Amino acid sequence: MTGLGHLPRFVPLEHVQTELSISYQQALALVRSGELRAIKVGGRGQWRVSLEALEQYIDARYAETAAMVSSCVGQGLPAPDCDSGYPIEQIVRELGEEHRDSLQEYVMMRASVDCPEHGIVLYAVDAERYVEQGTSRPK
C-alpha cells in the first residue's frame, strides 16, 4: 500500500534525515522524544515514519516558528537571521551585557550556527526559551 502516488507510506529515518537536513542522530532523537511519530518494524526493530507524520511534524514546526516570530517581534526582539535563529550579540543587546556569560554557557548546551555574517546564531526556539528565562539568569 502506498500513500502519495509512487511514494511509500512509510520511510526510514534516513529519509527524514534528508528531508529535514539533519543528522541521523537528530532524526532518531525526534522519534525517541515523541516529537515525531514513528513505528518499529521487522526483526531488527528498524524505525519507520509515515509521510503523513513527517508532514504533520513539519507543519507544527512552521506554526511554532510563526508564533515565535510574531511573539518576538511584538516584544521588540529582532527577526531571526540566517534563517535559523538570533545572533547572540543581538540577544545580549536586548537583554543587557550582564547576560553575556550565562548566554554563552546556554549556547554551549544548545545547537547553534557560526554564521560568517552574524557570528554565533542560537536557534530561534532556544533563543525564545532563553529570553523567557533570561531575566533571572545572569550570574
Q: Are residues 47 and 12 in the same domain?
A: yes
Q: What CATH number is given to the structural domain containing 30?
A: 1.10.10
24 assigned to some structural domain: yes
* 74, 99, 118 - which closes a domain: 74
Domain holding 92, by residue range, is: 77-134
Phi then psi for 118, rounded to 5 degrees? -115, 0
pLDDT tens for 106-123 read 766 665 556 656 666 666
Evaluate whether 51 touches 3 at the Cβ level (below 8 Å): yes
**Nearest to residue 85, comparing CAs of 130, 136, 27?**
130
| Torsion angle, alpha carbons of 125, 129, 131, 136, to 10 | -170
Evaluate whether 117 touches 82 at the Cβ level (below 8 Å): yes
CA distance 37 to 73: 31
What's the rounded mean pLDDT across residues 34-53? 94
Q: Are residues 82 and 67 in the same domain?
A: no
Confidence band for 25, pLDDT divided at 50, 70 and 90:
very high
Confidence band for 139, pLDDT divided at 50, 70 and 90:
very low
139 assigned to some structural domain: no
- Total domains in the fold of the chain: 2
Q: Are residues 61 and 81 in the same domain?
A: no
Q: Are residues 70 and 82 in the same domain?
A: no
